[in-house]
Structure 1
Amino acid sequence: MPYYISNIYFITAIAVVGGGLFGFDISSMSAIISTQQYLCYFNQGGITDDGKCAGPNSDVQGGITAAMPGGSYLGAIISGFLSDNLGRKKAIMIGTMIWCVGCILMAASQNIGMLVLSRFINGLCVGICSAQVPVYISELAPPSKRGRVVGSQQWAITWGILIMFYISYGTSFVSGTAAFRIPWALQSIPAILLFIGMIFLPESPRWLARKDRWEECRSVLTLVHGKGDPNSRFVISEFEEIKQTVEWERNNADVTYWELLKPQMINRTHIGIMTQVWSQLTGMNVMMYYISYVFTMAGLDDTLLVSSSIQYVINVVMTIPALLYVDRWGRRPTLLIGAALMMTWLFANAGILASYGHPAPPGGVNGIKEASWEVRGAASKGIIACSYLFVASYAPTWGPVSWIYPPELFPLRVRGKAVALATSANWIFNFALAYFVPPAFVNIKWKTYLIFAVFCAAMFFHVFFMFPETAGKPLEEIEAIFTDEVNGIKYIGIPAWKTQQSLGRATALEHGEISAAEKVSDEHSPERLEEATKV
Structure 2
Amino acid sequence: MAGGAVATTGSDAHYAHLVDPNRKWYNNKRLIYLHFWILLLIITSSTNGFDNSLMNSFQSLDQWETYFGHPAGGKLGLLNAIQNIGSLAGYPFAPYVSDGIGRRRAIWVGATIMLVGVAVQTASYNLSMFIGARFCIGFGLTFAANAAPMLVTEVAYPSYRAQLTSLYNSLWYSGNIIASWTTFGTSNIASTWSWRIPSLLQGLPSAFQFCLVLFAPESPRWLISKGKDAEALKTLAYYHADGDDQDPLVQYEFEEIKAAIDSDRQHSNNVGWKSLVSTPGNRKRIVIIVAIAWFSQWSGNGLVSFYLNKVFDTIGITSPTVQLLITGILAIWNLFWAVFASFLVDRAGRRALFLTSAGGMVIFFSLQTVCSAEFALKGNPAAAHAVIAFIFLFYAVYDLAFTPLIVSYTVEILPFAIRAKGFNVFNFVVSLALIFNQYVNPIALQNIAWKYYIFYCCWLAFQFVFLYFMIVETKNLTLEETAALFDGEDLSQRAMAAVAGVADEVRSDHRDYDTKLSESSDSARQEKLASA
Verify same fold: TM over 0.5: yes
Gaps of 5+ in 2: 1-28, 498-502
Contact 2:315 2:376 in 1 (8 A): no
Larger deviation, residues 260-269 vs 376-385: 260-269
Q: Does the residue aligned with 1:227 lie in a helix, a strand or coil?
A: coil
Q: 2:102 maps to which residue?
A: 87
Give the whole-Å Cα distance in 2 for the aligned partners of 1:251 and 1:436: 46
Q: 1:124 maps to which residue?
A: 139
> What is the CA-CA distance between 1:179 and the residue it aligns to?
1.7
Q: 1:498 maps to which residue?
A: none
Q: Deviations over 1:429-483 (max 9, x none)?
A: 1111111111111122213222223332222222232222334555566434333
Q: After superposition, where does 1:359-508 map in structure 2 within 5 Å?
A: 375-473=379-477, 475=479, 478-483=482-487, 484-486=490-492, 488=494
1:17 aligns with 2:43: yes
1:267 aligns with 2:284: yes
Q: 1:158 maps to which residue?
A: 173
> What is the CA-CA distance between 1:129 and the residue it aligns to?
2.9
1:32 aligns with 2:51: no
Q: 1:41 maps to which residue?
A: 67
Q: After superposition, where does 1:245-284 map in structure 2 within 5 Å?
A: 245-254=260-269, 255-263=271-279, 264-284=281-301
1:333 aligns with 2:352: yes
Give the whole-Å Cα distance in 2 for the aligned partners of 1:390 and 1:78: 36
Instruction: Tell me: CA distance 1:331–1:132, structure 2 relative to 1, closer, same or farther (3 Å).
Output: farther
Give the whole-Å Cα distance in 2 for the aligned partners of 1:348 and 1:426: 27
Contact 1:148 1:322 in 2 (8 A): no
Contact 1:143 1:472 in 2 (8 A): no
Give the whole-Å Cα distance in 1 for the aligned partners of 2:102 and 2:493: 25
Q: 2:368 maps to which residue?
A: 349
> What is the CA-CA distance between 1:30 and the residue it aligns to?
0.8
Q: 1:306 aligns with which of 306, 325, 329?
A: 325
Instruction: Tell me: CA distance 1:330–1:134, structure 2 relative to 1, closer, same or farther (3 Å).
Output: farther
> What is the CA-CA distance between 1:533 and the residue it aligns to?
7.0
Contact 1:31 1:165 in 2 (8 A): yes
Contact 2:476 2:525 in 1 (8 A): no
Q: Deviations over 1:352-371 (max 9, x none)?
A: 2224423xxxxxxxxxxxxx
Contact 1:62 1:437 in 2 (8 A): yes
Contact 2:109 2:144 in 1 (8 A): no
Select the structure that is richer in helix: 2
Give the whole-Å Cα distance in 2 for the aligned partners of 1:451 and 1:226: 54
Give the whole-Å Cα distance in 2 for the aligned partners of 1:205 and 1:277: 32
Contact 1:134 1:407 in 2 (8 A): no
Give the whole-Å Cα distance in 1 for the aligned partners of 2:298 and 2:213: 33
> What is the CA-CA distance between 1:380 and the residue it aligns to?
0.7
Aligned pair count reads 485
Q: Does the residue aligned with 1:396 lie in a helix, a strand or coil?
A: helix
Contact 2:290 2:426 in 1 (8 A): yes
Q: Deviations over 1:394-448 (max 9, x none)?
A: 2232111112222223233432332122111111111111111111111222132
> What is the CA-CA distance between 1:530 and the residue it aligns to?
6.8
Q: Does the residue aligned with 1:16 lie in a helix, a strand or coil?
A: helix
Q: If the length of structure 2 is used for normalisation, what is the TM-score?
A: 0.83
Instruction: Tell me: CA distance 1:210–1:529, structure 2 relative to 1, closer, same or farther (3 Å).
Output: farther
Contact 1:23 1:159 in 2 (8 A): yes
Contact 1:234 1:515 in 2 (8 A): no
Structure 2 counterpart of 1:325, which letter? L
Instruction: Tell me: CA distance 1:240–1:350, structure 2 relative to 1, closer, same or farther (3 Å).
Output: same
RMSD: 3.0
Give the whole-Å Cα distance in 2 for the aligned partners of 1:176 and 1:190: 25
Using CA pairs under 8 Å that are at least 6 residues apart, name the structure with larger relative contact order, 1 or 2.
2
Q: 1:174 maps to which residue?
A: 189
Q: 1:50 maps to which residue?
A: none
